[in-house]
Structure 1
Amino acid sequence: KHQNVRPVCGRNAHHSVARAAWLLGLPAPVVVGCEGERMSAEALGEVLRTTGPAVVVATAGTTDTGDIDPLREIARVCREHGARLHVDASYGGLALCSARLRPLLDGLAEADSVALDLHKFGWQPIASGLFAVRDAADLAALNVQAEYLNADDDTEAGLPDLLGRSIRTSRRPDAFRMAVTMRALGLHGMGELIERCCATAREVADAIRRHPGLELRGEPTLSTMLFRPVSGDVAEVRRALLESGTAIIGRATLPPGEVWLKLTLLHPHATAADYQGLLDTVAATARAGAAIAS
């Protein structure tokens, strides 16, 4: 019966959405158009009118730009059409810790489920993910009994039963690392560090805007920004920096097929001045490549 459920996501969704659908035996996701880099609630409504049972995956902190979908509008559309809403908040979800940034996630509480990850904001190993649901009954599918792991008399005697806390029976102790971090910093401490990252991103964006050899694409929503040299092949500049051992910079390709360099700033103690040398190097590498080409 679950094969009749259709996953729906925005063009901006993480590649793992399609992979998860395949692993679950679901059809390939229906891809909804975006307004800029945010899922269009209007386009979502048009899709849901014809899909039948659906689970919609919205994004709070896209990989390419750090944008956040209009969660409240998307939740309203999902309710109108009886679709479940999951929010991939792996990047932006921890902005909840900051009173200043929390409004960016307006509508998140309307989701049926949310994925959170502490490997960006949270500074944890990459597998440090959490899955939260509105209704605890939704986790019943994870309830498993194995006599050698969680016998009734053991659990009744007070031994912890962790078998239903993860899809995997065994995993690295990332939950412990996350708990220690949250305990040590608290919501206020986490929020303060995340705010620093986002503030630095705005300062670096200003530096890019002022740089004569660079072009900025939009303002950062969180701590990710896209930029490129004003001349030269962006992909070749990136490879030249990589092959020379100078810098590893991300990339993103956005409509209409434009390649941009990407910075996601996650070091809460770095300053905008720390990135100035990298910006100058990108511009100089582009100029050198253009000179060779001519």
Structure 2
Amino acid sequence: MRSHLLNDTTAELYRSSVTEGVERVAAQLATTTRPFTGVTPDALAPAIDAVDLDAPLHDTIAVLDELQDVYLRDAVYFHHPRYLAHLNCPVVIPAVLGEAILSAVNSSLDTWDQSAGGTLIERKLVDWTAARIGLGPTADGVFTSGGSQSNLQALLMARQEAKTDSLDRLRVFASEAAHFSVQKSASLLGLPPQAVVPIPVDRTKRMQTLALAAEMERCRKDGLVPMAVVATAGTTDFGSIDPLPEIAALCDRYGTWMHVDAAYGCGLLVSPKHRDRLDGIERADSVTVDYHKSFFQPVSSSAVLVRDRATLRHATYHAEYLNPRRTVAERIPNQVDKSLQTTRRFDALKLWMTLRVMGADGIGSLFDEVCDLARRGWELLAADPRFDVVVEPQLSTLVYRYVPAAVTDPAEIDRANLYARKALFASGDAVVAGTKVGDRQYLKFTLLNPETTLDDLTAVLDLIAGHAEQYLGDTLDRAS
């Protein structure tokens, strides 16, 4: 079995195996006409259950043939212009090349003696991102597995910087539309259930700063500690960007850590047209960025950035076998000193390759395209009497629902929209997301593919209307 180890003697097998795999994926991409086949779990499970993992095929071609049946044929393909559901972007080729390289070399970014140049490349990209944000000369950061981990580390630092030993007294403020990882992080950090204080949003789904100010003042009067405010630059459902300058001013007033969750909106950092929408982010104490959302990178590629590199010490622990304390004095750059993770992939290489091939403006122009498409999509929905659209987009999401003229029961309209989404997914013709606004069921376009056109949106809306009308017609027939 040593013949399968990647080394100097198996370089040709590596080349031929990877080439064959690339050919299969390329062929699948070239012939994919829908984002999904519509396969159900019950239909696909028998093929996977039938695989005997204790009976290897001993042949790469045979394994790839099998993979076609159990995965490639029925995968959900984010590159298709009618995949419109979640925050999944099509990926750029330089990043995919970087993925192939980093997987083969398999550097681990925890210590210098496992990565060498990989460490310096990651640090260079952290400095580049911090400069784009405007965090100043003492900024630093580290790559993470995604926005949830970045938010957790940011709140860990905020907790450790708070001036109290009583976790029960700590409070975190986030808008009603903030990511659920805020609550999860608070729980993981040992904070009480009431620690996260939801702040109402306005009609544009942005945090109401007057309400935030009132809650922070109430917190102080009650003898509690305003540990952190989590401002969101791109909420998952609405793409809304909280009023960052006003939030920063309140954090200054109360001595509170300001964290900006820009997992989605970080694409504006390289936008040639819309960078001003992030004004105020430079005043944050920490920032979450997900390059695998709006920088068109493969999962995972994310980071947490901080204004003061000294705060990263709250994630620092030393082990003699890995990063003994003497390495600090020896100025050896061990990234594990900054990270919640130990073993960690060289995910920074993907972004490095992308910037070196496409440049920041090239990435930003792609993100501008989807933001501009969302604006045109909003105009389309606002002019269509069949649909109710919730809010004008600040980024690239549209939340809407089908509203039939002949039906007035909100619950029945909810069911029609749920049915339309499921029927559309089952058909494989398009994939859209669902969410709730208040108690009502809505649908969502998350636009991250520059290849998607207004004609695509029009066609999908027509499909949604058709499925919803079919459901309502069938319901009427059953009732009669």
Residues of 1 paired with 2:448 and 2:214: CA distance? 37
Residue 212 of structure 1 deviates from its aligned partner by 4.8
Aligned amino acid, residue 242 of structure 1: F
Residues of 1 paired with 2:330 and 2:391: CA distance? 58
- Candidates 113, 120, 124, aligned match of 2:297: 124
Q: Is the 8 A contact 1:53 1:82 kept in 2?
A: no
Residues of 2 paired with 1:48 and 1:212: CA distance? 42
Q: Does residue 178 of the first structure (1) align with residue 351 of the second (2)?
A: yes
Residues of 2 paired with 1:122 and 1:74: CA distance? 26
Residues of 2 paired with 1:44 and 1:146: CA distance? 42
- Candidates 38, 44, 49, aligned match of 2:206: 38
Aligned amino acid, residue 211 of structure 2: A
Q: Which residue is 1:292 aligned to?
A: 474
My pick for the range that moved more, 82-91 or 201-210, is 201-210
Q: Which residue is 2:186 aligned to?
A: 21
Q: Which residue is 1:114 aligned to?
A: 287
Aligned amino acid, residue 279 of structure 1: L
List runs of 5+ in structure 2 lacking aligned partners: 1-164, 405-412
- Candidates 231, 247, 251, aligned match of 2:430: 247
- SS across alignment from 1:8: strand
Q: Is the 8 A contact 1:7 1:27 kept in 2?
A: no
Q: Is the 8 A contact 2:240 2:394 kept in 1?
A: yes
- SS across alignment from 1:46: helix
Q: Which residue is 1:7 aligned to?
A: 172
Q: Which residue is 2:419 aligned to?
A: 236
- 1:59-78 to 2 correspondences below 5 Å: 59-78=232-251
Q: Which residue is 1:281 aligned to?
A: 463
Q: Is the 8 A contact 1:11 1:31 kept in 2?
A: yes
Q: Is the 8 A contact 1:6 1:27 kept in 2?
A: no
Residues of 1 paired with 2:283 and 2:309: CA distance? 15
Residues of 2 paired with 1:2 and 1:137: CA distance? 23
Aligned amino acid, residue 274 of structure 1: D
My pick for the range that moved more, 135-144 or 152-161, is 152-161
1:198-232 superposed Cα distances (whole Å, 9 cap, x missing partner): 11222222333344533322221110011221224
Residues of 2 paired with 1:2 and 1:117: CA distance? 32
- What RMSD over aligned residues (CA atoms) do the two structures have, in Å? 2.1
Q: Is the 8 A contact 1:2 1:26 kept in 2?
A: no
Aligned amino acid, residue 12 of structure 1: A
- SS across alignment from 1:38: coil
My pick for the range that moved more, 164-173 or 190-199, is 164-173
Q: Which residue is 2:229 aligned to?
A: 56
Q: Does residue 96 of the first structure (1) align with residue 278 of the second (2)?
A: no
Residues of 1 paired with 2:200 and 2:433: CA distance? 24
Q: Is the 8 A contact 1:209 1:215 kept in 2?
A: yes
- SS across alignment from 1:104: helix
Q: Which residue is 1:217 aligned to?
A: 390
- SS across alignment from 2:422: helix
Aligned amino acid, residue 30 of structure 1: V
Residues of 1 paired with 2:166 and 2:348: CA distance? 30
List runs of 5+ in structure 1 lacking aligned partners: none
Aligned amino acid, residue 24 of structure 1: L
Residues of 1 paired with 2:450 and 2:426: CA distance? 28
Residues of 1 paired with 2:170 and 2:215: CA distance? 14
Residues of 1 paired with 2:248 and 2:330: CA distance? 43
Residue 50 of structure 1 deviates from its aligned partner by 2.4
Count of residue pairs the alignment pairs up: 293
Name the one with the larger strand percent.
1
Residues of 2 paired with 1:174 and 1:134: CA distance? 22
1:109-132 superposed Cα distances (whole Å, 9 cap, x missing partner): 111111111121012234322111
Question: If you compute each CA radius of gyration, which structure gives the higher value, 1 or 2?
Answer: 2
Inter-CA distance 10–155: structure 2 relative to 1 (3 Å threshold): closer
Q: Is the 8 A contact 1:249 1:261 kept in 2?
A: yes
Q: Is the 8 A contact 2:397 2:444 kept in 1?
A: yes
Q: Is the 8 A contact 1:85 1:113 kept in 2?
A: yes
| Higher RCO structure, 1 or 2 (CA under 8 Å, sep 6+) | 2
Q: Is the 8 A contact 1:143 1:164 kept in 2?
A: yes
- SS across alignment from 1:251: strand
Residues of 2 paired with 1:131 and 1:222: CA distance? 21
Name the one with the larger helix percent.
2
Residues of 2 paired with 1:154 and 1:12: CA distance? 43
- 1:158-177 to 2 correspondences below 5 Å: 160-177=333-350
Inter-CA distance 183–27: structure 2 relative to 1 (3 Å threshold): farther
Q: Does residue 149 of the first structure (1) align with residue 149 of the second (2)?
A: no
Q: Is the 8 A contact 2:272 2:365 kept in 1?
A: no
Residues of 2 paired with 1:153 and 1:180: CA distance? 34
